[in-house]
Chains A and B, each alone.
Chain A
């Protein structure tokens, strides 16, 4: 019997797991995919919002401001990429400039420090970010805005939860949850049943399905698809700050932002779709994202796109985060976590873990170690550190991904650490091998070979992202 069972291995599930591991108890996180960070957490803008955007008093506003304040410290503790880069909300029409002031006031009301925000002229914005469109008349400059690597943050949370004793069950899809005599029976697709005193629903776009299995009070999660284009690092200089567009009658704009690794991200579109799994990119979506982004930065060039992707935002019909114990005792929801979900996650996780600990009277885990050291990143080290690292382990002297300068040492580390990578995409998220401009053209065969060797699997069993996505179908001879 588990004290707590968490459904979903996104940034919410993993952060709740990590915060729970500060207490003594038997905790398990179950995830239907073969890795953590496989849903919304791997495909979003990676923005740590300052907190001016959400309606004052909403869960979104409260947790955003709290979470954003925790993020820098957390990124050091858990060793994931984070950078305070600032943001501009761009206004393209004099008539709309009043809306910038509204955002500013809302920010102050939400708890964003007034000195972190400033309404600036279009010229001032262009002085700070020279590639901003000449059409921009004014902007809200938000110094407190930051960026983080969402999947690396999720992996970091998960690894730290894992070493602090949380059990992770991957490839584990929930088919039913029944509460009997105060205990939840959680049945998995493989037929096994897990029992838990508390269930935390962090199932992303599937949170409604999970909730509606148990609770009388139903809700609906709408999948809102967002498509992105990622540009070559050589365009990294296009903007240092995140460039939002002020929502207009034409709809909500798209952003142009650097990633923590120096690429430029363009997107997302916003389309409500019936499917909870459809992350296909579309011809129209990609054009749409790019055209809109070009309004902010006219010099964006399609030729520099290296890849596209899409993610699904979990939009709750109540239009706010659904956080806390549901109408069924000991069943907690952390649902509808769309933007600013990443920014809010650290604060949400602390609150949810505290609530559960109180409820179950959990003792403080004295051996909890919140510090996590990530994979050393050869590409961003000094030459001296590189030299030392290769002297310790020769595998760091073998470059496997030539575009991102990822070494075999890093790939082996990614596989062998707690909750290690099991497939190509897992390697990619943890090390960046295959994330560069050739998009894994050169390193695919090598990474396959390393995965096969380290996992002691036949190369034909190596997948891109789990079951069925085998890279090759057999041998030629």
Chain B
């Protein structure tokens, strides 16, 4: 079985064809870089997504600080992760790269700040 998909690894958006008739030897074509191959294989085996959102920050001019998952998380865990992110609140100062929550939903991915929030 061949699945057609668009690679989301970068803004190029390559049109991939993923041949998964043999799940032990998945063939990817249409990609322009190695990341496309990995994406194609993951997409038919265990699709993952980066999650970006924001968390509440106290004691700063900003009310929110933006965050991301350090690694892509399984697609079916996105909303579970978001529910946890909603509960996180941190105190300023926050620096880009600060880990605000570890191993979210057991995915092995941390919630990391993507913006500075200075203390007032």
Contacts and interface: CB of A to CB of B under 8 A. Distances in A.
Determine direct contact between A and B, CB below 8 Å.
yes
Contacts of A476: 54, 64
A95 interface: no
Measured as residues with beta carbon below 8 angstroms from the partner, the interface class of chain A is under 10
A477 B64 CA distance: 9
Contacts of A477: 54-56, 64, 86, 89
Contacts of B55: 477
Interface in A434-477: 476-477
Nearest to B63: A477
A476 B89 CA distance: 13
A7 to B, nearest CB: 44
Interface in B49-85: 54-56, 64
A234 B34 CA distance: 51
A170 B48 CA distance: 55
Contacts of B56: 477
Interface string B76-120: 000000000010010000000000000000000000000000000
B60 to A, nearest CB: 14
A476 B63 CA distance: 11
Contacts of B64: 476-477
A81 to B, nearest CB: 38
A477 B56 CA distance: 7
Interface string A62-81: 00000000000000000000
Contacts of B86: 477
A156 B88 CA distance: 50
A476 B54 CA distance: 9
A389 B32 CA distance: 60
Interface in A22-75: none
A476 B86 CA distance: 8
A234 B4 CA distance: 49
A477 B85 CA distance: 9
A477 B57 CA distance: 10
A476 B56 CA distance: 9
B42 to A, nearest CB: 30
A474 B64 CA distance: 15
A476 B64 CA distance: 10
Contacts of B89: 477
Interface string B23-45: 00000000000000000000000
Nearest to B88: A477
B73 to A, nearest CB: 20
A69 B56 CA distance: 60
A476 B55 CA distance: 9
A477 B55 CA distance: 7
Nearest to B86: A477
A476 B85 CA distance: 11
A192 B86 CA distance: 45
A476 B82 CA distance: 12
A221 B64 CA distance: 52
A448 to B, nearest CB: 13
B113 to A, nearest CB: 15
Nearest to A477: B56
A277 B23 CA distance: 64
A170 B2 CA distance: 67
A451 B86 CA distance: 27
A411 B119 CA distance: 29
5 contacts: A476-B64, A477-B54, A477-B55, A477-B56, A477-B89
Interface of B: 54-56, 64, 86, 89
Interface of A: 476-477
Q: List 8 tightest A-B contacts by C-beta distance, closest first.
A: A477-B56, A477-B86, A477-B64, A477-B55, A477-B54, A476-B54, A477-B89, A476-B64
Given A476-B54, A477-B55, A477-B64, 5 more contacts: A476-B64, A477-B54, A477-B56, A477-B86, A477-B89
